[in-house]
Structure formats: C-alpha cells, structure tokens
Chains A and B, each alone.
Chain A
Amino acid sequence: MVTMFRADATFLSELDRILEGICRKLQLTPTQHDLARQHYEAVGNWLEHEGSILAPYHPKIYPQGSLAMGITNKPLGKEEYDLDFICELSIPWWTISPEDLVSKFEYRIREHQDYTARMERGNRCIRLTYAHNFHLDIVPACSNKGLGYGQIRIPDKKAKSWKDSNSKDYIKWFNKRARQSRRVDSAEPLPLQESLEEKPALKCAVQLFKRHRDVAFRNMLDLAPVSIVLGTLCAIHYQGQESVGEAVAGILNGIAQSIAQNQGSILLVLNPANKVREDLGERWKNAEAYEKFVVWIGEFNKLWLELSNAKGYPEISRLLETLFDEQPTRDVIREDAVQVGNIRGTGQLGILPGSGTLTSQPGAIHIPKNTFYGN
C-alpha cells in the first residue's frame, strides 16, 4: 500500500495550513496553558512546603504525555482537557506500597482547603478540576535513578503493583524524532506551548492521528489504540517531512508496511525510552482491538489519499469532517472566509491574471468594491 501525495506544492501548502488550523483548534489555548502551568506549580509548592509530609522526599512535579510534548487534544465531544503530571518523590519504591504512596499524596493534597474541594482520587492518581475546562491528573511516582536518568516507578492501573516508566526520556526521544525536519523546534524540555509556525510536522501529525482515532472509535472506546502507541508509531515512521500532509501520508505508509511484514502477528510496540522492557501495545492482547486497528489504518490511508486528490472546499471539508469531525474543520474553513473578507476590507485583495485566483500579492488585478445582489 503506497500513498502518493499529489505533488502540487501550492495545494499541499494550503492543505497544510488547514491541517495546522485544525490542530490549533484542538489544542489548549495559550490562556489555558498559562493557567495550567500556574496551577501545577502551585501544587508543587504546596507539596514541598515546610511541614508537608512529602517535603523530606523532595517532590518534583512535571508534565508528562501529550502536555509535555505540546500535542494535547481536546477530547471529542467534551470541552475539558485531561492534563497529565508526574510527581516524582525520592522514596525507595521497596519501602512503600503503591496504594500507600497514593494515600500519602492524597493526605497532603487534602490538607489544603482549596484542593479538597477540587480533588477526586483515582486508583493511582489525584485529579484536581479547575474552571477554564481542564483538570490535572497527578500520578505520584518513586524515583528509580539507579536504572538511569528519568527512570521512575509508578503505581499500575489498579495501584496493586509497581510499573517502570520513563516519561522524561520518552519526551527527549520523541522531540529528537520531531527535529528531523528542518522546521524549527524549541529545545525546551517542556515546550508547554509552541506556536504552530514552529510546531514540528510530527507533532501535528500525532495530534491528527489521535483525533481521527477519537472519531473513528467513538462507539468502541475500549478497542481504540492508546495515545502512547499512536505517538510512538508516528515518531518511529516519521521521516522528516516538512509538510504535515506528507508526514501523515508517510507515517500511514510506514505503519501499513510493518503490519504487512508482520504477517498477521501482532505488531510489537516497545517504549523506546524505558530501560526496562515495556510493551505499550498491551491492549492488543485483545485480538479484536488489533484487528480494528489494522482496518482503521487501511481506511485512514484511503481517506488520506482521497484528501490529496480532493477538489474544492466542499470535498475537502467533507473528508476532513469524516476524519476529524465537523467542528474543528468548519471553524477553520470559516476562518479562511473571514480572512478573505478582512483582506478585501483593507482594499488589498486582488486576483492573479490568468487563473483569477484571489491573492493579496502586489501586482495583482485589484478587486473593486461590489455588493453581491439578487436572491
């Protein structure tokens, strides 16, 4: 299965602009970002404050997952973002049970009146819900530096045993993959928000994969491929394309090829950054989930090919709505129309000789004022 993206460079760069617009619609707003940062820093201060039972363990709180990589997506059909954090503590993991660690953490959080009202306890994390449509999920973790930089042990899903993890190294690995392209990337370890102009194509691609996953699996959430698997597969198969459209095409192609090479046996996706072997594709032990994933990749590839050959806003919009849902797509397309209106308002809108294409370039045929009339 080979996806050939239409070679027309101007079409591609315009399509990229739309795809990047969709990513912008999906991610946290800069205001939400600043607020989230303030809130988690405040939690961090509270945890290490004098008198805290956690203070002796030097708690360090940091974003993990999509937030740390700058690829946060708004969940489908909801307004509230999940923002994930790790709170790393210098406690030897063998001296405490996972459940006790979460309880200890909860105890300290509850000592703060404001947090008590916002707090919910999950199996292995503490959730703090805030106005402005986001909540922070904080997982307490034990440092395990003996194994190397960034290695931690976190409670497993049910907080019954320990699980090795390495969020920091994963982010480093991911960012390195993203920097293959010549597009600029900030070297910040925690790029809380990147403007899209400098957002690497890989990051946009992951956002789009995750969003299409949310749309395609909306009625079978428990079979959907998990985010870290998608992010890892995207990073592995990304080949430095500068165009988001081409990056997605290349990644789809790469995944499809490795599925084919595996001849029916389940694709193994290991955490590339964990010093301990970590199979990220645990969900695929359920054969049905893996089958659905394979079918999904094939359909995604087909839609992407159609998109590359689409003609006209209505067809492009129809395909993008199938892929990423109505709202972000139409919002971005409406913005295009508003933008044309704005340029027209400044008197700088013209058309190119020959094709009649609208442009704000100098030397174009100026469009005089008109009033569309009739019914």
Chain B
Amino acid sequence: MKHFIFIAVIIIFGLLQTTILNYINIFNVKPDLLLISVIIASLNFQPVWAISLSIFAGILKDIFSGNAFGMHTLLFFVWSFLIIKLSRKISFDSDYIKLALLSIVVILNNIITRLIFLFLGNFISLGLFLRITFIESLYTALIFPLVLKFAKTRLIGE
C-alpha cells in the first residue's frame, strides 16, 4: 500500500515541480523534489521497488522537461542503484548523512547533465552552471528535511 502512496507522492512532486515551484524559485533555480523522492525510495524500500520508483520519477521528470528523452530516467536509475549498493556498506541512518548524500547526488547529477548537454552541442556557460548547481543543491537540501519528516511519519512509518 505504501508503495502506491509513494507513487502518488511522486506524481504530486512532479506536478509541483512544473507549477508552484516556478513561483518560489531562487534566481530562477528550483529544488529537485523528484530527486529527493529517489533518494528516500532508495534508502527505505526494497531494491526492486526502489529502482522501479526511481525509474518512474525519472520518466515523470523527462515528460516535463525539454531535454533528450530518457536522460533523467537513466540518471535516476543509476543513482538509485548506486545508493542501494552503497547503503549495504555504509550506514545512512543519520539524517545528516542523508542530507550530505543528497547534496552530493544533486551536484553529480548536474555535472553529468552538463556533460550530456556539451555532448549534444548545447553550450551552457560555466558561471551559469555553477550558479544552478550551487543553488539547486542548497535549495534541495533545505527542502529535504521537510520531505523526509513527512516520509518518516506517513510513508515509512519510522
């Protein structure tokens, strides 16, 4: 049941990201709620479910984005897979470690996105890239505790 609730949460996050978050952006940068959902799913659900939910979040992000289709799906799948692998070796029980993990994933996600953009021939200036990466990781990290608290009480049941 909680998996289906999480699917609904992902859909709501996708809709929020395309609508309301545009009005509360900081320097035209908005947080990545879908990436937060990927991290929460990867740390709290069974591997099969976690990867499925991450792929679903990626598909949703691809639908609402203008980039090459499948880019976010692939990236979210990779992040989910790596987090699951990593969580077997490192403990992510502390919320601070989860926050650090999220920040690292956001930064890496942006670096890979920029590399894909360069490969596709779309040039983004370094200044703009750094601004988006820095603000997005900071903004997403700020939102993360709220989402995590909601997930803990309503979805994961910790």
The answer to whether A binds B is: no
Which residues of chain A have a CB within 8 Å of any CB of chain B? Answer: none
